[in-house]
Chains A and B, each alone.
Chain A
Amino acid sequence: MTLWNVVQNEWMKLVRRRRLTIVVALALCLVGMFALGEHHEKQIVARVATQAQSADWRASTQADLQAAQRALNQMSGASSGSVMEAQTRSSLEQRIQEDRYRLAHDVAPLAPNLLNGWSNTSQFVGEATKTFIPLLVVILVGDIVAGEMTQGTIKLLVVRPVRRRTLLVGKWLVSVASSGVLAFLLCFAFLGVALAVDGPQGAMQPEWLNVSVRFFTQPGILQPVPVALYDHALVWPAWQAFLLQSALVAGAMMAMATIAFTCSVLLPSAMVATSAAMGAVIIGFVVSAMARGQSWVKWLFTTHLSLYGDLAGGTAFTIGSPVSLTGGVVVLIAWSVVLLAAAFVRFGRQDILNA
């Protein structure tokens, strides 16, 4: 009951602060930029000559499927374990899965002069969730405790007949919920403009999930070569994959909110706390790109802000070592739990001297 009151209070403060306006304005800017980008791309592909959609795409897909299966059977005899072989095998498997999916669900390939708003949004969100959306989350909640310390309002909060723990739980719940909602709405705003600009086609086009990436080391090649493996891959329609992606983005942003929240408890001022959380996002982003191939990169929380990338294989290519969705989720949860524990210990005991 008390907790619910705290949550109501924190929600009231969150929605009435100027920070929310800033976040919404920045988000709208990005949505606008994305819409412009799509519009530009649409004009480019519109120049491609329109081919009449061949009525017998099923026949050609069937033929392609058989050809790919034959080629794969021929390979299965000898296995040299070379990169070339793995890449060929992998692309054959992908072709077979795609053809089967198209035949089973009656999904014709998109004409080349049409954009797929679904997969374009998916790609864009995959990038935005690594830096831009986390920064919005930090702006939104990165001072939720430190701001009250700076303003001095924390005093009149702690003086109430409510446990400090309860105050902190309420603030955390609101940070996490608002960040999740923000991320989710933002994903759908991107989708909305993409579909408005590109047209609604593509919802049923195939997307690959659960792609594992293997790294081949070869004499004479310095870096291990990543090869996407499709043996356990799942093929989903784009709209379903997008829903899953939005949920994963929301989840990752909840972890991001928890980290920003901890900064706001551990650091003394709104300014310092917000900057530290922003710094962590940007440094993490740069480090995971620079330290490519180092195994410790997968323990950074910033590596897994795009959880969908962990699932679809993109993250493994970026950081140069294999990851899985489970691994990514575990890393994010571990960071959240440890930091949250530190925040609670600190806030529970802290003498509030200067606020």
Chain B
Amino acid sequence: MNVLQLFDVTKRIGAREIVRQLNMSVREGEVYGFLGPNGAGKTTTIRMIVGLIRPTRGAIHICGHDVVEEPVAAKRHIGAIVENPEMYGYLTGRQNLLHYARLAGVDHVDERIRQVARRVGLEDRLDDKVKRYSLGMRQRLGVAQALIGDPKLLVLDEPTNGLDPAGMREFRELIRALAAEGLAVFVSSHLLSEVEQMCDRVAVLQQGSVIAEASVAELRTRAGSLRLRVSRQEEAAAWLRARGWQVESADGRLTVVDLDDPAAAKLIRELVEAEFEVYEAARTGGLEASFLALTGAESGGNAP
């Protein structure tokens, strides 16, 4: 079932079309990545989905309810973090959650607050003022407030901005766990690696239009390159070239370009059978190559 659907959504501000004719759908249990360079229109799209701004044309449905026509019914199913989750610093974590629970129409407020706090691992610090929270804790509180109304759709705008690698991993695991429970997650990012590790499907946005949509698995198997560290490097390069591969040899590494996953596996086996030692082999992701090919080199995701 589609939890989120966008039909020909266009937003114009002044004379500029920020996003153009977006069509997307996110199913329950799916983590949907919304990938694009900064300024491509990701935040604008997210703000339309959560009802902060109105589409100029087109419609957005959440669980079948139009966000503009039936905002209350539609927003009942959304939990969101829009950019940094700004909280009320002068209130405690518990008071913040109480505040949002009241607005989300939660029935057993105290119990629900306990549940979401446990879920994000914030029980111990719930009665501290939010201004004393670290960035990571604020992020958790952000997730907690998004979950408080028991949503069917989680909308996250650049959720791992500013998190350290451990925090990022923890966050990804949480999102995957939530999706496994049936939540649909719509997550925007300019980080390719993040989307690759977190998402099932991905749409690539550039200059306001979706230029590609595919499953991450599919993108990953698309042609990319393979970097190798082998014995007798120059000899191996010549051997590969003779067999029709395009090879560059530099800095103690060979780079073989334009091959997909099965081809890469086959090539490595052949090298080993030809008695070259393979010390190291790394695919520079098919996804990254696809992404770069799609968006043009200069606007690529600056994956760490």
Contact surface of A with B, Cβ cutoff 8 Å: 2, 5-6, 8-9, 12-13, 16-18, 151-153, 155-163, 349, 351-353
Contacts and interface: CB of A to CB of B under 8 A. Distances in A.
Given A351-B53, A353-B47, A8 B102 contact: yes
Contacts of B52: 155, 158-159, 351-353
A352 B105 contact: no
17 contacts: A2-B105, A5-B103, A9-B99, A9-B102, A9-B103, A13-B91, A16-B90, A16-B95, A17-B90, A152-B86, A156-B145, A159-B52, A161-B71, A161-B76, A161-B104, A163-B72, A349-B54
B178 interface: no
Given A12-B95, A156-B145, A5 B88 contact: no
A83 B80 CA distance: 72
Nearest to A13: B88
Q: Top 7 closest A-B pairs, CB basis?
A: A152-B86, A160-B103, A351-B53, A5-B102, A161-B76, A161-B75, A352-B52
A153 to B, nearest CB: 5
B208 to A, nearest CB: 15
Contacts of A151: 86, 88
Most buried by B among A151, A161, A353: A161
B103 A161 contact: yes
Contacts of A8: 102
Contacts of A163: 71-72
Instruction: Tell me if A's interface is mostly helix, strand, loop or mixed.
Output: helix
A155 B72 CA distance: 15
B97 to A, nearest CB: 11
B78 interface: yes
Nearest to B142: A156
A132 B84 CA distance: 38
A17 B51 CA distance: 28
B47 A156 contact: no
Interface string B245-258: 00000000000000
Contacts of A162: 72, 75, 103
Contacts, number: 89
B91 A16 contact: yes
Nearest to A349: B54
A351 B90 contact: no
A160 B104 contact: yes
A159 B82 contact: yes
Contacts of B54: 349, 351
Contacts of B83: 152, 155
B276 interface: no
Contacts of A16: 90-91, 95
A209 B50 CA distance: 55
Contacts of A160: 75, 100, 103-104, 149
B87 interface: yes
Interface in B30-84: 47, 50-54, 71-76, 78, 80, 82-84
A163 B25 CA distance: 25
B300 interface: no
Contact of A156 (B90, B91, B98, B100): B100
A160 to B, nearest CB: 4
Interface in B82-129: 82-88, 90-91, 95, 98-100, 102-105
Contact of A159 (B78, B88, B91, B99): B78
Contacts of B74: 161
B84 A152 contact: yes
Given A12-B98, A156-B86, 12 more contacts: A5-B105, A16-B91, A158-B51, A159-B80, A159-B82, A161-B72, A161-B76, A163-B72, A351-B54, A352-B53, A353-B13, A353-B52
Contact of A6 (B78, B103, B149): B103
